[in-house]
Amino acid sequence: MTRRTFALFALAIVGALVLQLADTRLAVSQSTLLYARVAPFVPTDDPWNDVWSQTNVINLPLSAQLIVAPKGGTRDGVKVRALHDMERLYVLLEWRDVAADTAVGSVTAYGDAAALQFPAASSTEVPPLCMGSPTAIVNIWQWKAAWQEDARADFTKIASSYPRASVDAYPFGEDPVYAPARELGNLVAARARSSPVENLHAGQYSTLTTASTQPVGGTGVWRDGTWRVLFTRAFVSGEDGDARFALGDSIDAAAAIWDGGASERDGLKAVSAFFAVRVTSLPLTGPPVPMFPGILIWPIATAVLLGGLALLGRPRRRAR
């Protein structure tokens, strides 16, 4: 080994050790980026409002969740948009679904659902996509069509699904002893809902836990074979397990979709890879320009530079 090669090796090893000790990388990942622009007003009860047609959209491919049983998931893509008003973040998911499944009145019926996952504010590293890890908690917002239906048309009871069912006698109907989940505050059993979106924390699969505060709002509206679900939350939230947002920051996010009509629930879901949401100060300036100018920027730049390189690469005469 020559002295020069030895020096290069020493440089590489010292460089790698410095990077390890500094807990930094001399490389960056190449992930999809979603801009959250500033909108003066975003109606929280209308995911089909025109304001959403003025912002950019990314189309994320989804794949079936295949890590932990039960495995599955049928939706193959979801469109994502984001806005903010300097105080709250709004994220809109849109996907095709031929039927709106909102009723869960029997043991074989499942409702449509959608979720967003962010690293918790307490996480110091990018968590594993599959529900985080014990050292990198994730914050999950799950919108449930059934919860929204509960809020709209009263809590779904047996009588909702079987209106002709008759009960001879049930003397302890309101006794909390016979409704322990509701008495203990289990949101699944709650009769009064303030939001169709559940705020959850997870530190690995099988650790999903309802957060102690429920600051996430949302609305889902199904129209002509398409769901649009709007999630919203204030930038800052009190819990360490919650995500935090700030102007100028980028945060990793991932989406998941459940098709209740295909009996999807729990791990039966379609999931995206991580993408990045950047909270920018860019204002909404009307409908986004067609995508072609944006896409052509780099090929045109490449062609121009390649021409320059071709001129530069002409054979040069050596100086005698």
Partner 1 sequence: MRADLRAQALWPLFVALAAAGLIELAFFRVAYRVGLFVPRDGPLVDAYGLLTRVGSLAFDLVSVIGLIALAGLAVESWRARTSARTAAFAAFLALATTLPFVPTNVSDIAHGLFSTAAVLTVAVIVAPALVDRASGAANKLALLLVAVAVTAAQYGGAVSGTASAFGTTGELARAGVHIAEIAAVAAAFPLAISALAARRIDRSGAIAAFAATAILASAVIAQPYLSGIMLLWAAGLSLLLPLPAYAAAFAAYIVAVATEAASTGRAHRAIGAILLIVAGVVPQSSAHVVVAILGLALLARPRALTPRPDPT
- Applying CB under 8 A, which residues contact partner 1? 1-2, 4-5, 8-9, 11-13, 15-17, 19-20, 24-30, 32-35, 56-61, 63-64, 66-68, 71, 77, 79, 128, 130, 133, 204-205, 248-250, 278, 280, 282, 288-291, 293-295, 297-299, 301-302, 305-306, 309-310, 312-313, 316, 318
Using the minimum distance from each CB to partner 1, give the nearer residue, 119 or 217. Answer: 119
Q: Is the dihedral of CA 204, 87, 280, 238 positive or negative?
A: negative
Select from 271, 256, 273, 268 the least CA-distant residue to 71: 268
Using the minimum distance from each CB to partner 1, give the nearer residue, 56 or 210. Answer: 56
What are the distances in angstroms from CA 306 to CA 297, 315, 316?
A: 14, 16, 18
Residues 6+ apart with CB under 8 A from 80: 34, 57, 58, 59, 60, 91, 92, 93, 94, 255, 275
What are the distances in angstroms from CA 291 to CA 36, 183, 295?
A: 17, 53, 6
Using the minimum distance from each CB to partner 1, give the nearer residue, 69 or 188. Answer: 69
| Closest approach of partner 1 to the CB of residue 12, in Å | 5
| Closest approach of partner 1 to the CB of residue 24, in Å | 8
| Closest approach of partner 1 to the CB of residue 114, in Å | 17
- What DSSP designation does 133 have? B
CB atoms within 10 A of CB 288: 15
| Closest approach of partner 1 to the CB of residue 225, in Å | 18
| Closest approach of partner 1 to the CB of residue 43, in Å | 23
Beta strand 77-84 with 58-61 is antiparallel
Using the minimum distance from each CB to partner 1, give the nearer residue, 93 or 145. Answer: 93
| Closest approach of partner 1 to the CB of residue 80, in Å | 9
Residues 6+ apart with CB under 8 A from 109: 101, 103, 161, 260
Q: Compute the distance between CA of residue 145 and CA of residue 39 in angstroms, rounded to an integer.
A: 26
Using the minimum distance from each CB to partner 1, give the nearer residue, 25 or 164. Answer: 25
What are the distances in angstroms from CA 165 to CA 239, 243, 292?
A: 44, 45, 59
Cα Rg of the chain (Å, integer): 25
Using the minimum distance from each CB to partner 1, give the nearer residue, 66 or 158. Answer: 66
Using the minimum distance from each CB to partner 1, give the nearer residue, 236 or 282. Answer: 282
| Closest approach of partner 1 to the CB of residue 9, in Å | 7
